[in-house]
Chain A
């Protein structure tokens, strides 16, 4: 999986490309938490090119969301494939995570 991080003044965007599973989740977790520990509190995860996610990926997203909420921060997801979105719905993650249709919408909401 490739992860591209783009820093902006008020937020950072992580664009994921490939498969987020128990094999790749650790690397993703490290990158995400490096950014949070550097003081970024508003994050967007762009899933446009994400082909796959398992509960190992959901675990990292849950952990990051809890961390950011306790610091008044925010995590917004966007541009998911239908079948990826369904995994969030089945897991009940759509009840506490903002999932936007496009990156533009995510930037407005973050």
Chain B
């Protein structure tokens, strides 16, 4: 079982740090390149959401990420002290509507739902805590 914990500051440039840390963790855990991409995308969408909408002040905040791989089930916990936001309750985007009515709203969360097996949200001690689970496939 491998675990990795790290903190990201609340700025978009930290996406590069997220990518690097995740790549190291996935390589060490034998996760395929494709699944590494999928996990990176889900975490990116989540982190970008938190940075864009989560904080109403100009202070520095930290988003804490913990990845654990146990028997090829990857569990990722993301904690932030931003405003309460439950992505599991967000509406699903309409992907079948006419082109002119298409917009980008909700697509990030749709991608997270598509690439992860389970998403659980709790609000605990003033923090949003999201647990993403993905079963890793052998390739």
Contact = CB atoms under 8 A, between A and B. Distances in A.
Interface of A: 19, 21-23, 52, 54-56, 58-59, 62, 66, 69, 82-83, 87, 90-92, 95-96
A52 B104 contact: no
A54 B107 CA distance: 10
B96 A90 contact: no
Q: How large is the interface on B (under 10, 10 to 19, 20 to 34, 35 or more residues)?
A: 20 to 34
Contacts of A69: 99
Contacts of B95: 91-92
Contact of B16 (A23, A55, A82, A87): A23
Interface string B1-39: 000000000001101100100000000000000100110
B111 interface: yes
A108 to B, nearest CB: 23
Given A90-B111, A91-B111, A96-B102, A55 B37 contact: no
A95 B94 CA distance: 13
Contacts of A83: 34, 37-38
Given A90-B111, A91-B95, A56 B48 contact: yes
Given A91-B95, A91-B110, A92-B96, A62 B102 contact: yes
Contacts of B44: 21-22, 54
Contacts of B51: 22
Interface in B75-99: 95-96, 99
B102 A55 contact: no
Contacts of A96: 99, 102
B107 A23 contact: no
Contacts of A59: 104, 107
Contacts of A21: 15, 44, 48
A52 B37 contact: yes
A80 to B, nearest CB: 12
Interface string B43-62: 01100100110000000000
Contacts of A62: 102-104
A82 B35 CA distance: 12
A91 B12 contact: no
A87 B111 contact: yes
